[in-house]
Amino acid sequence: MSLFTASTAYARPSLTARTRLITLGLIAAVVVSSFLGRYDAEIVGFRVRVEQVVPLLLAGWMLVHPVLRGAFFRALRHPVPLVYAAFVLWNVVTTLLFSPSLTWSASILIWLVIDLLMLVSMMALAEGADLAARLGRLSVAPWALVGFAAYAVANLTRGQVALGTDFDYLYEVYVARVTAIEANIYASVLIFWTLLTITRRGIGRWEIAAVAVAVPLGLVASQTRTAVFSLVLGLGIFAVFTLFSLRSSWRERITRILPAGILIATLVVTYGIIAAMGGTAPADRTLPATASPSASVSTSPTGTAPSPAPTREPDPTNPEQQNKIGDVDFVGGTIGFRLEVAGLAAQEMKGINLWLGNGTNTFGLRHEQPGTPGISGHIIMLPVQVLYDGGIVGLGLLVLFFVTVFVCVPRKRKPVAAGLLASYLLSATLTSMFWFAVTWILIAVLLRPLTEDERDLDRV
């Protein structure tokens, strides 16, 4: 176990039954709220999500309770929250220096602070982090199957029943998002918890089977290529790290990675079948000027980008129109869109702004969204966005943050951490995952001390 983890976080204080019940109930509510990104309300001119409000309740409870307050401030001194706090502080500095609208920037700055409070709260108690891990693991198969059901119903009824889906204008297909803000986020939440589940020590055969069947169906429902690549990457790195870093016998190492191998096999087979069914995708994957594909292009973290209602129905009998998951196009479509956004961002990454940034969340103040005139632009690639907002200094702090996470993970969990962090960084490069609650829950779960079950398995 990391010395930092043992000494400054994940306390096990003696709590009364009532305090323990309230605290674990709030932690469970934080985990549940991380799945509810679709739901928000306007407060003082800002769109505030459920997943932002619930963590404030948890942090407030810990700060007012004398026993929990000590655990909270000890967790705050852990290297990972400290580095992230430095990243948040730098965003404040560069915003004060360069942002043309402090109000506009505040919508993200406040979100970053909430994320810091959530991370510290989830790291304060070992029992709370263990509970979050169990809840996330139990969500995997249901989250995937509900998404697939929503996807199937919406497309078979041509949108007459479209609960839990969005309409993708580029491919004219309904894609699953369930209660997430959009399909990319739905799929990302699914693959992150899948990685932690399938790589768990002592996972049972029935759980392996449920994950291996349900997860590929969930990814088909999301029609999200990024998630497929991210999951395979994460599982592959976990397998390689396990094979060459553990000191056990080769048989034990192969047994350790076998569940991940089974999932890779079912995922590759499912992906291959779906991709082959599509035939040749249409050459024109440019975005109509009046459309905003909610599942193909992430919405702004501030929730300000509107998603218009579908103007045409999907055609389930035309596989060429719907072969999104098998269409990898570097010229048009979403990849071309991202390259265009990066080109626009590069216009202000010069001189002092390259080093210090342009201020948090300011891209939309200078650029419209490509393909959607009148809509403020947003960068959905984490490294590009951080470089634009905080410059090389901000990007350096972000890199330091992820390095610190990996260093502080308990040694026996490092293969899992390597796979999950690699998968996360790929997903965050192509989506807006960094801002959402699941990020900080996952980090707290990764960093937590080894459980008794994990130690028992190691002794065996």
Residue-wise pLDDT tens digits, 322-364: 556 655 555 555 677 788 888 888 999 999 999 999 999 999 8
| AA letter at 446 | L
Which two three-digit tokens encode residue 242?
């396990």
Q: Where are the domains of the chain?
A: 3-282+368-459
Does residue 125 have a pLDDT over 60? yes
pLDDT number for residue 289:
41
Which two three-digit tokens encode residue 410?
């308990």
Distance CA 261, CA 257 (A): 6
Burial-class residue 32 by CB neighbours within 10 Å (0-12, 13-18, 19+).
Answer: middle
pLDDT number for residue 268:
87
Q: What percent of the chain has pLDDT over 70?
A: 83
pLDDT number for residue 368:
83
Residue-wise pLDDT tens digits, 252-296: 889 999 999 999 999 989 887 876 765 444 434 444 444 433 333
pLDDT number for residue 274:
75
Distance CA 19, CA 6 (A): 23
Distance CA 117, CA 283 (A): 47
State mean pLDDT over 88-103.
Answer: 95
Prediction pTM value: 0.88
Selection from 223, 244, 437 nearest residue 334 by Cα: 223
Does residue 244 have a pLDDT over 50? yes
Distance CA 322, CA 325 (A): 8
pLDDT number for residue 275:
67
pLDDT number for residue 318:
52
| Contact of 363 with 370, CB cutoff 8 Å | no
Distance CA 188, CA 158 (A): 25
Q: What percent of the chain has pLDDT over 90?
A: 64
State mean pLDDT over 88-104.
Answer: 95
